[in-house]
Amino acid sequence: MRYRSAAVIAAVLAASVLGGGTALADTGKPGADGAGDSYYPQDGNGGYDVGDYNLKIGYEPATKQLTGLQTITGRTTQALSSFNLDLHGLTVDSVKVNGRKAAFTRTGDHELVITPARPLRNHERFTAEIAYHGVPQPIEDPALGENGWQYAKSGGAFVAGEPKSATTWYPVNDTPRDKATFHLAVTVPSEWGVISNGRERGHFADGPKTTYVWAEETPAVPYMTTVAIDRWEFERTKLSDGTPVVNAYAPGTPASTKQAEARLPEIIDFLASKFGRYPVDAAGGIFLTEPIGFSLETLSRPIYSGAAGNIPTIVHENAHQWWGDSVAVDKWKDVCLNECFASYAEWLWSEAKSGQDLKARYLNAVQKATDRFWAGKLYDMGPGNEFTYVYSKGPAALHALKNYIGAAPFDRILKTWPAIHRDGNASLPEFQKFAERVAHKNLQGFFDAWFYGNTKPAPEYLYPGDLKPAA
C-alpha cells in the first residue's frame, strides 16, 4: 500500500463532490481556424503541430476519381476541444482521432472541423485519420493560373502551386510555419507511373494496379509536396555524395530539356559552393510538357513547366532547396527570402559559367529601371503581389548589398544563414539583423532603401562600392 498524505486525500474527496466521483478535466477550446498570416489569415490552423503526414491514395485517370486515407501524427500546443484541417473540395467520409470515431463538419471555403471523442490535452501526441474521396479541382489564381491538382493532356495529373496547393488533394495544416515529413503511397493502373518528393521506397504490383511508395524525410512545407502521374520516362543517378537523383520526363519532353537536367549534379555542386552543403535528402526533377505559368521548387524534386526546361530555371528552382525549402518564410510577406535569392543564384551561375560581368548587368538593370520598378516592394508587398519584383529588383538589391558590405561578409552570409535556419522558418527583418552582425555594420538605411521602401534608392545605396558607373 502506497502512503497518501492528508492533503492528497482531501483533494480527491473534493474532486469527488464537485465532479460526481471524477476530477474535473480540462475540456479545452477550439483551435484557431487560421495560422494568422496577414495575407492569408484563414490558411493553416492553430492549436497543434504536425510531425508527419502518411497518405495513401488511389487514383483512376480515366474517371479522375481520387480516394484517400490520410494519417496525421502531431502534438497539441493547447488543450483542444476541436481542431481544423484545410481541404479544398473533396468529400470526407470518416474521421478518427487516436483510433476513435470523431465528429466533423465543413465550413467556409476549405475548413474541416474535427471534434474528437474526448478533448485533447495540451502537449498531447495524437493521430488523426481522415478517409475521403472525390475529383480534385485546382484553385484559380489571378496571377499564376491554376494551382494545386491539375490535369495533363496525356490523361495524367500533377500537383503544383503556391501559396495554395496541398489542400486540393489531401487534408493538411496549410501554413509554411508547420513543416512535417511526408510519406506517400499511390495506387494507379499499372500502365501509369508515379513520382513524388524524397526517396523511392519501391513499387508493388497487384493485378492490374501498382502502388508506388515515396518518403520525404526532410521536413516539408505543405505547398512543396507534390505527386505527378503520367507515363514517365524515369532516369536514376546519384550526386557525388551519394544522394539519389530521380528525374521523370513526360512523353514528348524535348532532348534539350534532358540535356539541361543532365547538368544537375554540376548545378548542385555549384550552389553548394555558394550556400553550403545540400540540405535535402534527394534530388531530381519532374518535367511536364504542359506549359503551365510557372515552375516550382517542390522539395527535393522541382516540377517544371513544359516551357521552362532550361539551365536558368533549373538553377533557380534548385537554389530554392536552400532558400525557400530548407529555410522557409515565416510569413508570406517575407517571400523575398525565397525568390530574391533564387533569382540571384542565376546571376552567380552566369558569372561563373558564362563569364558575365555582373557589374554591367546590374548597371544596365538599374539605369533602365522605371518608376514602376522602384515602386515594387521586396518586403510586405501585399497579397497577390508576392511574385512580381522579387525576380527583377530582388537580385539587383542583393548585388547592391554585396557591394555595400563587401564580398567576404556577403559570401559568409550566403553560406551560414541556410545552415543556421536549416529545416526552420525565418523573416526578412531577421535576415537584416543577421547581415548586420556579420558585416559589423548598421544596414537600416540600406534595407529601407531597397527592401522596405518603394522609391529609387539614394546614390549611396544605388551605387555602392565598385558599382559606380563610369563618368
State pLDDT tens for residues 282-323: 999 999 999 999 999 999 999 999 999 999 999 999 999 999
State pLDDT tens for residues 413-442: 999 999 999 999 999 999 999 999 999 999
- Contact, 327 vs 382, CB < 8 A? no
CA–CA separation, 154 and 469 (whole Å): 52
- Contact, 192 vs 229, CB < 8 A? yes
Q: What is the C-alpha end-to-end distance of the chain, expressed in Å?
A: 94
Which pLDDT band, with edges at 50, 70 and 90, does 471 fall under? low
Kindly list the distances between the CA atom of residue 217 and the CA atoms of 181, 184, 453, in Å, as whole numbers in the listed order: 5, 11, 39
Q: Is 359 helix (H, G, I), strand (E, B) or coil?
A: helix
User: In 141-171, which positions are buried (b, 16+ CB within 10 angstroms) versus exposed (e)?
Assistant: beebebbbbbbbebebbbbbbbbbbbbbbbb
Statement: residue 11 has pLDDT above 50 = no
- Contact, 267 vs 246, CB < 8 A? no
Which pLDDT band, with edges at 50, 70 and 90, does 366 fall under? very high
State pLDDT tens for residues 113-141: 999 999 999 999 999 999 999 999 999 88
Percent of the chain predicted with pLDDT > 70: 94
Q: Which residue has the higher pLDDT, 192 or 13?
A: 192
Domain ranges for the chain, please list them. 47-328, 331-467
Q: How many C-beta atoms surround the C-beta of residue 41 within 10 A? A: 13
The grid cell for 284 is: 531530381
The CATH number of domain 47-328, selected from 2.60.40.1730, 2.40.10.10, 3.40.50.300, 3.40.50.410: 2.60.40.1730
Place of cell 537523383: 245
Q: Is 389 helix (H, G, I), strand (E, B) or coil?
A: helix
Statement: residue 171 has pLDDT above 80 = yes
CA–CA separation, 118 and 339 (whole Å): 44
Percent of the chain predicted with pLDDT > 90: 92
Whether the bond between 254 and the residue before it is cis, its omega within 30 degrees of 0, is no
Please tell me the predicted confidence (pLDDT) of residue 144: 80
Q: What is the CATH number of domain 331-467?
A: 1.10.390.10
Which pLDDT band, with edges at 50, 70 and 90, does 4 fall under? very low
Place of cell 552543403: 277
